[in-house]
Structure 1
C-alpha cells in the first residue's frame, strides 16, 4: 500500500502543515488507520477509497488520538494528491465523502505544487459565552482575552470555540488544563485562540500537548465569525495566519460568499512518496 506526505497551506516544501495521504485504503480497517496515524506521527492522516464516479472518494481522517468527522488541511492535501494522480494538466474538481459531511474541492497546478480550495458550506453559529466563561477558557491557556469581541462557538463541520485574545496573549498561550468537559458543555470540540487585528490564531489537540500548524477546519468558522462581526465583507477574499510560533508559518485563504458558503484554500506541496512493506493482511 502506497502513501504520500504533503505540506498544506505551504508556499514551499517543509512549510505549512504536514499530512499523510493514503490514496487507496481499500481493505484497511479503521483500527489499522488509527495505528498507522500514530506510527507516522502527523497531526492528521487521511485515507481515501474510490467511489462510483472518477472524481469521488470516501475519506476518513484520523489524529493520533481519534477519528475526526471533518478536517481542513487533510481534505485540501488529499485533493491536491488526487490531482497529481488523476487530474492531468487542467483544473479539476473532487468530491470527498466523509462520515458526516460531503465536501467539494477545486484544484489546479500552481508553481511547483498545487492550489486547492474547498467549499465548507454555511457556518453554524452556536453559543456566545459570557465574560466569566470566556475568562475561564482564556485562563486555561494562560492568555489574556480581547474584550472587544465575543467568544463564540462556530462550526463548518467541526465546532470551535473562537476565543479572541490580545497579541501578547496569543504569543504566551499554552494549554494548561484539560478542557474536554468544559468544551462538551458548550457544544465545542476545540478552542481556537485569535489575535483579531493580526488575523492570526493558534489551537491545540484535546490534551493540549500538540499545537496544530494550520487548521483548515477552524479557518472557515473564523472567516464566518469575522464577517458576522463586520470585520470583513461578504465575497471579499482575505488570508489568515497560523503556525508562526512553531516555525512553520502558514497562509490560509478564506472567503465567505454572498450566499453564505465558506471557502477555504491554500497551496499544497508534495514532499514524499512511500510504500508500506507488510502485506495488507498483516495491517488489518
Structure 2
C-alpha cells in the first residue's frame, strides 16, 4: 500500500499546507486510518476509495484527533494526485464523495506540479455577533475589543464546516495567541467549530486547532466562508478572482485563490506540489 506526501496552496515545494494521501485505502479500518494519521503527524491525511463510476472516489479525512466531514486542502491535494496517477492530459475532472457532501473538482498541470479547484457550493449564514459577544472571542485570542475591525461584523459562515469569522486589525492578527482550552464549548453555543481571524484589508487570516496547540497553515474549509463573507460585505467583487494569504506566521506562506460566481457558488483553488511516494510495509490486515 502506497501513500503520497504533497504541499497544497504551495507555489513551490516546502511551502503551503502539507498532506498525506493514501491512493487506495481498501482494507483499512477507521481505527487504522486514525492511527496512521497520528503516525505520520501531518495536520491532515486523506484516504481514497474507488467509486462506482470513472472519476469518482470516496474520501475520508482525518486529523491527528478525529475524522472530519469536510476539509479543503486534503480534497485539492487528492484531486491533484488523481490527475498525476490517472489523467495523461492537461486537465481533469473529479468527484470526491465525503460523509456530508460530494465535491466537484477540476485540475490541470501547472509547471512541475498541478493546480486544483473545488466547488464548495453556496455559503450558509449563521449567527451574527454583537460587539460585546465578539469581544469575548477576541479575548480568547489574547486580544481586546479595540483590536476588532468594527467595520465588519463577526459572524458564523459555512461551506461545509462552520467558522466564526472574526475581523481584526493587521497588528492584532500578528500577535494573536489562543488562550482558552474550552473554546470548542464556547463555539458550540453559536453553532461554530472553529474561529478564523481575518485581516480584511490585507486579505490574510489565521486559525488554530480547537485546543490552540497547532496553527493551521492554509485552511481551504475556511477560505470558502471567507470568500462569501468578503463579497457579501463589498470587500471583493463577485465573479472576480482574489487571493487569501495564510501561513506567514508559521513560515509556510500559502496562496489560496478564491472566486464567488454570479450563482453564489464559491470556488477555492491553489497550486499543489507532489513531494514523495512511500510504501506501507506492514500488511494492513495486521493493523486492524
Q: Which TM-score tier does this pair reach, normalised by the shorter chain? A: over 0.9
Which residue pairs with 1:154 in the alignment? 157
1:108-147 equivalences under 5 Å are: 108-143=108-143, 144-147=147-150
Distance 1:183 1:153 in 2: 10
Query: What stretches of structure 2 of length at least 5 have no aligned partner?
Result: none
Which residue pairs with 1:174 in the alignment? 177
Alignment partner for residue 200 of structure 1, among 187, 198, 204? 204
Alignment partner for residue 237 of structure 1, among 237, 241, 247? 241
- How far residue 89 of structure 1 moved from its aligned partner, in angstroms, is 2.2
Distance 1:255 1:84 in 2: 25
Distance 1:172 1:199 in 2: 17
Which residue pairs with 1:74 in the alignment? 74
Alignment partner for residue 216 of structure 2, among 201, 212, 216? 212
Which residue pairs with 2:277 in the alignment? 273
1:164 and 2:167 are equivalent in the alignment = yes
- Would you say the 8 A contact 2:55–2:95 is kept in 1? yes
Which residue pairs with 1:188 in the alignment? 192
1:87-106 equivalences under 5 Å are: 87-106=87-106
Which residue pairs with 1:257 in the alignment? 261
TM-score, reference length from structure 1: 0.99
Which residue pairs with 1:223 in the alignment? 227
- How far residue 233 of structure 1 moved from its aligned partner, in angstroms, is 1.3
- How far residue 190 of structure 1 moved from its aligned partner, in angstroms, is 0.2
Q: CA RMSD in A?
A: 0.6
- How far residue 3 of structure 1 moved from its aligned partner, in angstroms, is 0.1
Runs of 4+ in structure 1 over 3 Å off:
none
- Would you say the 8 A contact 2:200–2:235 is kept in 1? no
1:23-38 equivalences under 5 Å are: 23-38=23-38
Q: Deviations over 1:18-61 (max 9, x none)?
A: 00001110110111111111111111000010111121000010
Distance 2:203 2:187 in 1: 23
Q: Deviations over 1:40-94 (max 9, x none)?
A: 1111000010111121000010001111110000000000000000011231000
Distance 2:87 2:131 in 1: 50
Secondary structure in structure 2 of the residue aligned to 1:170: helix
Q: How many residue pairs are counted as aligned between the two chains?
A: 284
